[in-house]
């Protein structure tokens, strides 16, 4: 279990940026992402976000052949203060600057990361506090290697290495777990996050037009229901001119597995109020968190 108690769960607004126009020009991708963060951070008349989320691979085209060319050295080590000014990652600097300017918690989707020591490439999510500090990261643990005959073949392991840690971060209003896309198919990761005190779990992701209709909503509702947490995935917008066609449909699900909000396939911004009441209500009424039989089966979070 987590060594530090989670913060008291308080209401907050979660904002998902379903980003479009992700092309081959990294500078243009970063500029557009920043413009959308600015738009999202300003909120609307009744919702100003505390947490803003970008989609998976927001700074590059999605494809294992692209990852090496767009990879950046981040050099973050958990538990150690990160020097933003000394960072050589242009994506990290943009995200940090935006988080600080608007005073938001920013889950920076993911970017291809090249480890300076091993030269391995990871699909990495970075998280920033309202001061602009890089305070957490998650390297995608489960690589997207699939082959559905006649529909889609994709093999991230051609160029990527899988991460080896589970991760979350604390805000003043919630503990939030992290994952990336294909990680959602492996319930253990969400179980571990929930049992370490996470109130919400956020996975930037990019399902496609084959797996999206089948499992995008199903898996999010399953992870929310299994663990009685809020669960959300943030997708890129669909671009039929790109090499990879994202499903879109960024979503937020509550601890009863009810869909609170869902985008269509187009570029958009979702503002969703997260109310702790269903979290407490679900756990009190259907107390599975207190009924597990670890004398019969192992606790994956131990």
Residue pLDDT, tens place only, 163-212: 999 999 999 999 999 999 999 999 999 999 999 999 999 999 999 999 99
- pLDDT (tens digit per residue) in 76-100: 999 999 999 999 999 999 999 999 9
Distance CA 273, CA 91 (A): 28
- What band does 3 get if pLDDT is binned at 50, 70 and 90? confident
pLDDT at 42 exceeding the cut of 90: no
Assess contact for 44 and 135: CB atoms under 8 A: no
Q: Tell me the CB-side half-sphere exposure of residue 149, using CA atoms within 13 A.
A: 0
Q: Which residues pair with 203 in a beta bridge?
A: 233
233: CB partners within 8 A, 6+ apart:
181, 184, 202, 203, 204, 205, 216, 220, 250, 251
pLDDT, one tens digit per residue, over 153-164 is 999 999 999 999
The residue-averaged pLDDT of 43-49 equals 74
Look over the chain and give the mean of its residue pLDDT values, rounded to a whole number: 96
Q: 259-262 and 251-253 as β-strands: parallel, antiparallel, unpaired?
A: antiparallel
45 — pLDDT class (breaks 50, 70, 90): low
Q: Which of 26, 57, 72, 140 is catalytic?
A: 140
SS3 100: helix
Distances (CA, A) of 4 to 91, 129, 136, 198: 30, 18, 15, 12
* pLDDT at res. 280: 98
Asked about 181 being catalytic, the answer comes back as: yes
Options 26, 56, 57, 156, the catalytic residue = 56
Is the distance from CB of 139 to CB of 164 less than 8 angstroms? yes
Q: What mean pLDDT do residues 137-146 have? A: 96
Tens digits of per-residue pLDDT, 274-296?
999 999 999 999 999 999 999 99
Active-site residue identified among 57, 72, 125, 181? 181
* C-alpha span between 287 and 101 (Å, rounded): 41
30-46: b or e for each residue (b if 16 or more CB lie within 10 Å)?
bebbeebbeebbebeee
If you search the block for the tokens 């996050």, which residue do you land on? 193
Give 244-265 pLDDT, tens digit per residue: 999 999 999 999 999 999 999 9
Give the per-residue pLDDT at 1: 44
- 109 closest CA partner among 95, 125, 121, 122: 125
The helix/strand/coil state of 168 is strand
Residue 57 has pLDDT above 60, yes or no: yes
Is 140 known to be catalytic? Answer: yes
In the residue annotation, 26 being an active-site residue is answered as: no
Residue among 126, 140, 139, 135 nearest 95 (CA): 126
Model pLDDT, residue 259: 98
């Amino acid at each position: 279990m987590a060594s530090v108690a989670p913060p008291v769960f308080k209401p907050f607004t979660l904002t998902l940026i379903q980003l479009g126009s992700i092309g081959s020009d990294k500078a243009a991708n970063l500029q557009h992402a920043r413009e959308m963060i600015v738009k999202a951070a300003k909120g609307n008349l009744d919702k100003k976000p505390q947490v803003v989320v970008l989609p998976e691979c927001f700074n590059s085209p999605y494809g294992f052949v692209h990852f090496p060319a767009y990879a950046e050295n981040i050099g973050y080590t958990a538990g150690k203060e990160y020097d933003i000014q000394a960072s050589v990652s242009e994506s990290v600097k943009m995200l940090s600057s935006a988080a600080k300017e608007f005073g938001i918690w920013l889950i920076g989707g993911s970017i291809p990361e090249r480890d300076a020591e091993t030269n391995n490439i990871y699909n990495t999510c970075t998280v920033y506090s309202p001061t602009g500090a890089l305070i957490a990261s998650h390297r995608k643990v489960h690589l997207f290697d699939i082959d559905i005959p006649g529909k889609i073949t994709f093999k991230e392991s051609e160029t990527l290495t899988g991460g080896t840690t589970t991760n979350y971060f604390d805000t003043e209003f919630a503990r939030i777990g992290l994952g990336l896309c294909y990680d959602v198919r492996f319930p253990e990761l969400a179980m571990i996050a929930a049992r370490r005190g996470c109130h919400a779990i956020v996975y930037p992701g990019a399902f496609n037009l084959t797996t999206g209709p089948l499992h995008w909503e199903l898996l999010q509702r399953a992870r929310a229901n299994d663990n009685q947490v809020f669960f959300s995935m943030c997708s890129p917008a669909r671009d039929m001119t790109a090499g990879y066609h994202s499903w879109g449909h960024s979503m937020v699900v509550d601890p009863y597995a009810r869909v609170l909000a869902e985008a269509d396939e187009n570029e958009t911004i979702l503002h969703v109020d997260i109310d702790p009441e269903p979290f407490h209500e679900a756990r009190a009424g259907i107390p599975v968190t207190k009924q597990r039989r670890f004398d019969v089966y192992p606790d994956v979070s131990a």
